[in-house]
Amino acid sequence: MANKRLFGTFGVRRRANEVLTPEFASKLAAAYGTLVKGQVAVGGDTRTSTPMIKHAVLSGLLSSGCHVIDLGILPTPAVQYAVRNYYDGGVIITASHNPPHDNGIKFVDADGIGIPDDMEEKIEDMFFDENPDRVPWDEISEVETSDIIDEYIENVINRVDADAIKDAGLKVVVDCGSGAACFTTPYLLRKLGCQVTTMNCQPDGFFPGRNPEPTEDNLQDLINAVKNLGADLGIAHDGDADRTICIDENGAFVFGDKTFALVEKYMLKENKGGLIVTTVATSQAIYDIAEEYGGEVIATRVGDLLVARALKENDGLFGGEENGGLIFPDFVYGRDAALSTAKIVEIMAKEKKPLSKLIDELPSYRSEKRKVECPDELKVEVMEKIAEVTCEFEVDTTDGVKILTEEGWVIIRPSGTESIFRCFAEAKTEEDAKKMAEWGIKLVLEQLKS
């Protein structure tokens, strides 16, 4: 949203103690507290700056008259779970997969979903006009603490076939990247009877073992550990434990869209159909599986928050993104790494097949991601021209322009944060995917010249 001054796609994310100072955090939280005026739960990830920012947030909330509950260090979805079940609002201190010097503040509503744009704009107005409510001295509450993690883990276990998982006795290597999952995933998998080996499962805001973003490059130690230990599965999370990435029994990195498709297939089978929500940048495999197993698909603009909202509004069954973020709306209205992990081991246990085999059975597509530079001020014009010159094709303009052909599709979108266009293509063969992506790049360059 161009008119938003502080918030990105989901919250505020900045360098800790430069822009994101205690003063900034406290005032922003007071503005949020002014709108909520109720019981607000606060939690955060393992970053070095999280305690500092959290205390400022607690002060701001108390000052505006909220009753606050400190949930400690825990995954983002565990805060969302707590808020949905017990509180009027929530604040999460996290920068997800960003480098250690960053931190961020996410606000959620009483359902645990990221707050809507109009509420963000109200918070910004109050922030800049300096008029959050400040209650009189005798209306300031105390800080309550609450430990929700055990309950959260129990509720994840209740949503899967724990006996089947226990019988399978799977050998799993878990790499939490020293992030918030240190407090959940190893315990969850042990309770489910898995043989767990941990790495980077000591909480540490310097992220000494690896970068908090679970990319293939960053997960080489996990890949080696899975191979060397002869494990059935490797599991990795991002810093705030809302995303799960899998390594198969051969040490192969499983792309997020594959995990999404695998879980989609079993959710649809288990529930005999249902509504799936994803973004326009997600694989055709999601549609193929929906067709085969009685599902229906809605595609939103890119962003996990938009998927979560569409799931709630349409009473959807399951949703996700191609980056490995899966949403189970009857549990948490946001990506949840713990339930994703439990679902994946459940599928392996019940199907009695190795992960590589389960992935091989899914519809197969190849994708290609490219980017091309474009000055910010020209983005709108370039986008309009691309829409004009591609009108002879089948196009979807939910987010940017997605062109669909016999061979596959390419989506061309301006980046919201960088001076680039992203071209993401998918086809049955690698050659076609590359061709489609090239075509997207060419379209951007041609409009830039004209």
Residue 321 binding Mg ion, by CB under 5 A = no
Task: Count CB atoms within 10 A of the CB of residue 137.
Answer: 6
Q: How far is CA 445 from the centre of its chain?
A: 31
Report the half-sphere exposure of 85 (CA within 13 A, side-chain side). Answer: 13
Nearer to Mg ion, 217 or 406 (CB): 217
Determine which residue in the list 120, 124, 175, 238 makes contact with Mg ion, applying CB under 5 A.
Answer: 238
Determine which residue in the list 46, 59, 63, 96 makes contact with Mg ion, applying CB under 5 A.
Answer: 96
Shortest approach of Mg ion to residue 159 CB, angstroms? 21
Shortest approach of Mg ion to residue 110 CB, angstroms? 22
130, two tokens? 């300096």
Nearer to Mg ion, 120 or 242 (CB): 242
Nearer to Mg ion, 175 or 238 (CB): 238
Active-site hit among 96, 283, 340, 367: 96
Shortest approach of Mg ion to residue 91 CB, angstroms? 16
CA 192, 196, 197 angle in degrees (round to 5)? 165
Determine which residue in the list 102, 232, 242, 368 makes contact with Mg ion, applying CB under 5 A.
Answer: 242
Residue 240 binding Mg ion, by CB under 5 A = yes
Nearer to Mg ion, 94 or 447 (CB): 94
- What is the four-CA torsion angle of 424, 265, 327, 241, rounded to 10 degrees? -80
16, two tokens? 């800790």
24, two tokens? 């900034």
Burial per residue of 332-352, b for 16 or more beta-carbon CB atoms within 10 angstroms, e otherwise: bbbbbbbbbbbbbbbbbbbbe
Piece of 57-65, 219-227, 238-246, 286-294 that binds Mg ion (CB under 5 A): 238-246
- Count of residues interacting with Mg ion (CB under 5 A): 4
Shortest approach of Mg ion to residue 97 CB, angstroms? 6
What is the C-alpha separation between 285 and 413, in angstroms, rounded? 21
233 and 174 Cβ atoms separated by less than 8 Å: no
Residue 415: active-site member = no
Nearer to Mg ion, 9 or 398 (CB): 9
Residue 340 binding Mg ion, by CB under 5 A = no
Cβ-proximal residue to Mg ion, closest one: 96
Q: Which of 348, 354, 346, 295 is nearest to 320 (CA)?
A: 295
Piece of 48-56, 88-96, 202-210, 214-222 that binds Mg ion (CB under 5 A): 88-96
Task: Count CB atoms within 10 A of the CB of residue 378.
Answer: 16
One-character DSSP codes across 148-166: -HHHHHHHHHTTS-HHHHH
Nearer to Mg ion, 266 or 333 (CB): 333
What is the C-alpha separation between 407 and 368, in angstroms, rounded? 13
Catalytically active residues, by annotation? 96
**Would you tell me which residues interact with Mg ion (CB under 5 A)?**
96, 238, 240, 242
